Amino acid sequence: MTTASIDIDAPHLDAVYLGGKWVNPVAGATVDVVMPSTGRVVATAADPGIEEADAAVAAARKAFDEGPWPRMSVDERIAMCTRFAEELESRMDQLNRLWAIESGFPVSHGEMINTGAASAIWRAALANAPKVPWKEKRTGGGSEVVISHDPIGAVLAILTYNGPVPEIGMKIIPGLLAGCVFVAKAAPDSQLTARVIAECAEAAGFPAGVVNVMPAGMETSRHLVAHPGVDMVHMTGGVSVGVDVVTQTAPRLARTVLELGGKSPAIILPDAVLDEVIPTLVPAAIGGVGQICVALSRILIPRSRYDEIVARLAVEFAQYKVGDPLDPATVLGPLGNERALVRVESMLERAIADGANVAAGGRRPPEFNGEGFYFEPTLLRDVDPDSFIAQEEVFGPIIVAIAYDDVEDAITIANNTRFGLAASVYSADATAAFAVAQCVEAGNLAINLAGVCLTEPFGGIKQSGWGREGGIEGILEFTHIRQFLLSGASQANRER
């Protein structure tokens, strides 16, 4: 199927799923679904507002305070979450196609990120749940103490348009396994996939209110973040949104987990062999046309090899063509919306004004005749490490090549950012690369590779956020730690 023949086939576009039912929004507001590859409206969906937000929180609150979910055994929760996972996996072809329609990410990318990675992420969470030390007895200082990990409560999970399906495995299923209940706030650009995800939750048979799905805009999202019935906000998004979340949750001291942006460096050490570097570095830089939080958007190159490596990278960048996201052969699609395209063009214009030069890409592909939100993978050279384009997250296909003088200079440049999400170090000497990586301020580092492991603890430092997703730690993020001092404990400990 291509954009020439589109069958939307998305369920319940006139409703949202909350309290175990499909509900038509009170205000009757709608939102257009714009296909990024054409720029045209292909569907209209119900747009939930404040009334639906309040109803979703009330349903979640009742499910947690009065319902069976947090009181079920871990095995019972695993069984139901497994059914949820199976429902999602049975509909991957539909999810990948709808995601391509609404977001522009190619079906080939969906097969990798959704069918492959997402399934692995939630299957790992299901396997980890029995290993979590939900309750453990400790003895010390003459006391016997039970340490209990108990669910936090009603969680607002803020999902993104560039990975709603994997985020089910990174947020929703780990929290459900911990006994929490959810209002899943999908991005306004995720109208189609959000409804399939909700239908899968419905088919899994969760008790009413355990999973509520709200593909909503900014006003409704901010109302949910500030809602006193929400015990925790677990979000993926940009730094400005993260700051707003913390500002709104601070008065009630609600828990937050924030997976924010990045300006991740790839350090190519002087002895690196390019034939071994490029196969992982370039896809990790421009995959998803840069709409990936861990994209290697700063390539640090020894000055002695700068021209050689930039020329090689430029040739490689030129091999990556953008195309129809519904074509199975397409690797790179359009940007997700017109705002993103305008932002990319504006940032490129500023970078050039600041002295950067285009080594590859740098334009809307002419073959699309201005249709859709396409932009070529772009490599900039002669970039000052302190410049705007080297400091700000583009979230688009603009990658900068920065020269460094020696290894210490490379580390300084790598750390010269407010972000700290991911990094890669390339060298013919893996031990030397590891030593450099240990000096880089990032939460996730790769040696002679690119990317991160999402089945183990993943997250950022500095303004890339706090908290972790994945692994046992990702489940424990959704819990309170409580102490039970048992009878027969020492008098000193009882009085504390």
**Opening angle at CA 487, ends 481 and 490, nearest 5:** 90
Q: What is the pLDDT of residue 490?
A: 52
Tell me 469's DSSP state. B
For 157, residues 6+ apart whose C-beta sits below 8 A from its C-beta are: 167, 171, 172, 175, 182, 183, 184, 185, 234, 235
- The SS3 assignment for 347 reads helix
Q: What is the CATH number of domain 265-447?
A: 3.40.309.10
pTM for this model (two decimals) = 0.95
Structure tokens at 33: 């679904």
- CB under 8 Å to 269, separation ≥6 — which residues? 302, 407, 410, 425, 426, 427, 428, 429, 432, 433, 436
Q: Which residues of 53-75 are buried (b: 16+ CB within 10 A; e: fewer)?
A: bbbbbbbbbbbbeebebbeeeee
Q: What is the pLDDT of residue 487?
A: 84
| Res 156: pLDDT | 98
CATH fit for domain 16-260+461-482, picks 3.40.50.300, 3.40.630.40, 3.30.70.2860, 3.40.605.10:
3.40.605.10
The pLDDT assigned to 488 comes to: 65
Alpha-carbon distances of 74 from 179, 203, 486, rounded to whole Å:
8, 20, 24
Question: Is 308 a catalytic site residue?
Answer: no
Kindly list the domain boundaries of the chain, sorted by start residue: 16-260+461-482, 265-447
Residues facing 40 on adjacent strands: 35
**pLDDT mean for each 10 residues of the chain (496 residues):** 64 97 96 97 97 98 98 98 98 98 98 97 98 94 93 98 98 98 98 98 98 97 98 97 98 98 98 97 97 97 98 97 97 97 98 98 96 98 98 98 98 98 98 98 98 97 98 98 82 45
Q: Select which of 259, 316, 393, 477 is catalytic.
A: 259
